[in-house]
Amino acid sequence: MKVLANDGIAQSGVTELESAGFEVILTTVAQNQLVDYINTHSITVLLVRSATKVRTDIIDGCPSLKIIGRGGVGMDNIDVEYARSKGLKVINTPAASSHSVAELVFAHMYGMARYLHNSNRDMPLEGDTNFKGLKKAFAKGVELKGKTLGIIGIGRIGQATAKIALGAGMKVIAFDPFIKNVNLELEFFDGQTVEFDIDTISKENVLKQADFLTLHVPSQEEYVIDTAEFDLMKKGVIMVNAARGGVVNEVALVKALEEGKVAQAALDVFEKEPTPEMQLLMNPNLSLSPHIGAATGEAQDRIGSELAEQIITILN
């Protein structure tokens, strides 16, 4: 049986699948050529990440397919229910990248708190001629310890983010319409553990209280953060969106940055990927990354292994 990993898969997954007798194809096939390629090569399993879309044309047009796999959490690039209604198995790896995304959130938050995203741009340009000026410009940083982190969406990634926040000495508050309480166990290098219980509160109260804000929600029809939500926030809040493009109104965000309601914001995802708006790319109050939340070697190894294990279990 053949597996087409159209957006790639870690070697860990390739090794496990090949050991189980599968042929793994790592060719990247253009979206408009996928149906022909899958049929020509009798592909049984199609694995994607975020680049490849699996819509009804592929589902209906490729009778050899038995499994569609998404290396990651969200499956908005797959017509999941339609595929399942046609008898296909649709799998993903909801837990594999949680910690990687959480670490990226904190990389952005620590960077913004000390203006590192600006400092790293300005030092090469002015470091030799305006050292004292830059020192003064970036001397108003804040510490995360003792601050309140608001989490919108406290599923797996939200919980991983909360654990890092608790370890950093932050107070954690959260809103989630589907979760009332979470019990978090922090594990340390020597085997010790500490447990924390977090009761979720209203979205309005999270927005009003948070010094730092992070979103971990799926794609939705309406914005999760829009003008009304920005109006509720503390003046000078720092926020991160490493969830999905389109959950934050980027026009309203830029306005909130201009007005000082939001001091700084980080975006790992964008409404118009892969061509974000230039006003975002050039905004000095934004810390930006190109949708790399799950892009660590460790996360990709976990994703590859989890996909391989599920495929082997289903087909063998």
Residues with catalytic annotation? 244, 273, 291
Nearby residues of 274 by Cβ (< 8 Å), 6 or more positions away: 290
Buried b (16+ CB within 10 A) or exposed e, 278-291: eebeebebbbebeb
> Does residue 151 contact residue 161 with C-beta atoms inside 8 Å?
yes
Q: What gap in Å lies between CA 280 and CA 113, rounded to an integer?
A: 19
Q: What angle do CA 150, 268, 109 make, to 5 degrees?
A: 45
Question: Of 287, 213, 276, 284, whose CA–CA distance to 250 is shortest?
Answer: 276
- Displacement of CA 278 from its chain's centroid (Å): 21
Lookup: tokens for 72: 């990651």
Q: What gap in Å lies between CA 160 and CA 103, rounded to an integer?
A: 9
How far apart, in Å, do the first and last CA atoms of the chain sit?
Answer: 11
Residue that is written with structure tokens 């569609």 in the block: 68
What number of helices (H) and strands (E) belong to the chain? 13, 13
Instruction: Report strand pairing: 2-5 vs 43-48.
Output: parallel
